[in-house]
A and B are shown apart, each in its own frame.
Chain A
Amino acid sequence: MTKLLAFAEIKDGDIRNVSFETIAAARQIDEGAEVVAVVFGNKNVEEAANQMIQYGADRAVTVTHDNLENYTSDGYTQAAMAVIEQENPDGMVMGHTSAGKDLSPRIASKLDSGLVSDITAIDGEDFVRPIYSGKAFEKKSIKDGKKFITIRPNNIAPLDQDESRSGDVASLDVEIKDIRTIIKEVVRKASDGVDLSEANIIVAGGRGVKSEEGFEPLHELADVLGAAVGASRGACDAGYCDYSLQIGQTGKVVTPDLYIACGISGAIQHLAGMSNSKVIVAINKDPEANIFNVADYGIVGDLFDVVPKLTEELKAIQVK
């Protein structure tokens, strides 16, 4: 039987949704495979391991160590290699997140294996990924060695949670030592709890928002929609919001059901981070703005006029 590892990622004590998506991806690679969840951390890893099982993993292997509190390449590599040595899997799935991007190439290198990164769909033996800033796609296959992939969050739907599902959770003892890159401090910028890469609806503002206060109407719209607020690089560089809100090639890559771009021109580097969204709405006063070329619905107008009215209209229908 094929055996595939599914990596859980824990951030600020919470398991990220993409972890559950790795299990679904493993099942798409081989429905009959044994899927083994892998969970690392400095505490409470069993809880995450059990959640992984409820989302479809058959069993879980955990490594608990003080040096696994924060992600470091050296620490996680030691833990991952110990698990791989014990399990000798046929493949691995990780999220294409900051940690996944940093770790997966190193593990692939250690195993002299191929790695297909940033996958948005699985088609039999082939892996589909966006290339050229999302303007094209390619299908890749792995010729030999382990099937090792990273998946873009919010593209491969997780399986339904089954709280009655149980499985073995085994802890593996690994000495995690000689970390060569020491984290002295973590400066948290990400504002409220919503993880942009997991959000179903995003309201994003650009330089057209004009000031920090200008984001207020966007927050109000986001509140009625239960949405997360994001931004373009332009808005971040201008100091209207924090860089943790940035969407695009250098920021977060998002795939929500609905993306509402307000005062964003639609530069290629921004599109690279959001053009895969299912439905795109553009609000921009310039009818020639490039964002209208990717939008499903567009309103040409002043966002300070349109956005509050949109919020009111949504409130009105919610009351009904």
Chain B
Amino acid sequence: MNIYVLMKKTFDTEEKIQINGGVIEEDGAEFIINPYDEYAIEEAIKLRDEHDGEVTVVTVGDEESEKQLRTALAMGADKAVLINTEDDLEEGDQYTTVRILEAYFEDKDVDIILAGNVAIDEASGQVGPRLADKLDMPYVTTITELNIDGDTVNITRDVEGDEEKIETSLPLLVTCQQGLNEPRYPSLPGIMKAKKKPLEELEIDDLDLDEDDVEAKTETVEVFLPPEKEAGKVLEGETDEQVKELVSLLKTEAKVL
């Protein structure tokens, strides 16, 4: 089975966010594998162990993305592909990323592509469905269960808390939701092995694309922090008094009752 995972490296949003020169300050920030892509990697490894085949993790990123790709290899993926846009592109959006991925997948024989349901930084959730459309593949978003039997695929999909049981077939693209599995940590032998696993590096030129082909359709005008919230009022006194004060504040100050 030819199993592909789409991986994005993201800013760890647990960290403090600062803006410098109109953009989010990345210097010194911690980057991680997008958590939803960890579910995708874990599920891909399980599929390979069950059905044989190969797991290839693909990212559109920069030099620094190698770190997260090595982590994916250490978890158990077989191959990694870094499409490095650092030297060729200044700007991009979801259209750009998908145009590049589409070109990469054009000549690939794919059984399944697993993506995250959303990236925690830019958080549009567009990349999976957009790519599936370009590759003319069926897709199922926010999956919490996946079973493949021959060409038949049975899926549980999370729909705002309800569950849909879906039957479909390969080739297929899915986006992974929390609850699908528990991603493993890379083991020490895994980390050693990962260093020797193949990591292919491509540029858009290798995909017969140039800057104009992938020009973004949207533009970021401004990035800003929410207005600093005044420190909340922690109420004091006995519980009875606190509760009375809270109700009064909600009525008169916050005006929400």
Contact = CB atoms under 8 A, between A and B. Distances in A.
Provide the main secondary structure of the chain A interface.
mixed
Interface in B97-147: 98, 117-118, 120-130, 132-134, 138-142
B125 A114 contact: no
Contact of B218 (A112, A116, A137, A184): A116
Provide the main secondary structure of the chain B interface.
mixed
B151 to A, nearest CB: 12
A182 interface: yes
A1 interface: no
A180 B136 CA distance: 11
Contacts of B142: 98
Interface stretch (B11-19, B77-85, B192-200): B11-19
Given A73-B138, A310-B243, A114 B224 contact: no
The size class of the interface chain B forms with chain A is 35 or more
A298 B231 CA distance: 10
A297 B250 contact: yes
B162 interface: yes
Interface in B14-40: 14, 17, 19, 24
A136 B240 contact: no
A173 to B, nearest CB: 24
Nearest to A278: B256
A120 to B, nearest CB: 11
Interface of B: 11, 13-14, 17, 19, 24, 93-95, 98, 117-118, 120-130, 132-134, 138-142, 158-169, 177-179, 216-226, 229, 232-235, 239-240, 242-244, 246-247, 249-250, 254, 256-257
Interface of A: 70, 73-74, 97-98, 101-106, 108-110, 112-118, 126, 130-145, 180-190, 197, 201, 225, 233, 242-246, 249-252, 257-258, 268, 272, 278-282, 287, 292-301, 305-306, 309-310, 313-314, 317
